[in-house]
Amino acid sequence: MPAKLLVGNWKMNGTRAALPQLAEIAAGAGLVPGVTTVLCPPVTLLAAASALGLATGGQDCHAHPKGAHTGDVSPEMLADTGASYVILGHSERRSDHGETDAMVAAKAEAAWRAGLMAIICIGETEAQNRAGETLAVLARQLERSLPEGTTPANTILAYEPIWAIGTGRTPTEAEIAATHAAIRAHLARHLPNGATIRLLYGGSVNASNAARIFALPDVDGGLVGGASLRAADFLPILHALSGATP
């Protein structure tokens, strides 16, 4: 059974002044059994975070290894900092930078080429949720964002309802369980060993709801934004995941 996974996504937050927080997270994470903790700080802090002994990941990457792409970072460059994961297709990338499912799939293949584990994000908007379209939207994203060759060894899925990100609102536990079961069934139907691809929940996970969310079936861990910035907020979430029985 693969270890449960907690991924902290710092987004565009943190300068070197935040290194003590990273060090505290690294020290705390080392003490928690049964959970792999991955921190995804801004690219400027990746090497420092890796040097602290944390497993680290980028928040995006380009699909090409190098070239004339001003401002972009290739997966090979992420790997060179010590990173071993990369978040792809986060809804903020999809909305801020117009990333399509096809672009996400190309980036995932690029990530694998560089030896990185792809953490591919999917999720519905509030309007789609209200219209009862969630499962159809997710199925479409799964079909188009996951390249051929997706396996539990190279890819992790993160379900993040867009309306739950940074809002303090989450779906009910029953809704999370039902959606994760549907995603799991889809993966099992369409991919070899798809049923064992790790499936994270993301969107307003915090110290008070983590234990309930992580106890749900088909939730193998979490992708945490705001509450990953401070060790005092993040470490209790890590303990909640460590203690959760699936």
Residues that bind ligand PGA (CB under 6 A): 9, 160, 165-166, 202-205, 223-227
Q: Which is nearer to ligand PGA, 171 or 225 (CB)?
A: 225
CB of 240 to ligand PGA, least distance (A): 14
CB of 177 to ligand PGA, least distance (A): 19
Q: Which is nearer to ligand PGA, 9 or 50 (CB)?
A: 9
Catalytic residue among 92, 124, 160, 186: 160
Q: By Cβ distance, which residue is nearest to ligand PGA?
A: 225
CB of 246 to ligand PGA, least distance (A): 21
**How far, in Å, CA of 104 to CA of 62, rounded?**
10
- Please confirm, yes or no, whether 239 is among the known catalytic residues: no
Q: Which residues contact 152 (CB under 8 A, 6 or more apart)?
A: 2, 193, 194, 196, 197, 198
Q: Which is nearer to ligand PGA, 40 or 111 (CB)?
A: 40
Q: Which is nearer to ligand PGA, 9 or 129 (CB)?
A: 9
Note every long-range contact of 71-75, with CB atoms under 8 Å and residues 24 or more positions apart, other chains counting: 73/43, 74/110, 74/114, 75/107, 75/110, 75/111, 75/113, 75/114, 75/116
**How far, in Å, CA of 155 to CA of 2, rounded?**
13
**How far, in Å, CA of 59 to CA of 149, rounded?**
22
The pair of three-digit structure tokens given for residue 199, joined into one six-digit string? 């499936």
CB of 202 to ligand PGA, least distance (A): 4
The pair of three-digit structure tokens given for residue 181, joined into one six-digit string? 């079961």
Catalytic residue among 90, 92, 180, 186: 90
For tokens 């861990």, the residue is 221
Catalytic residue numbers? 90, 160
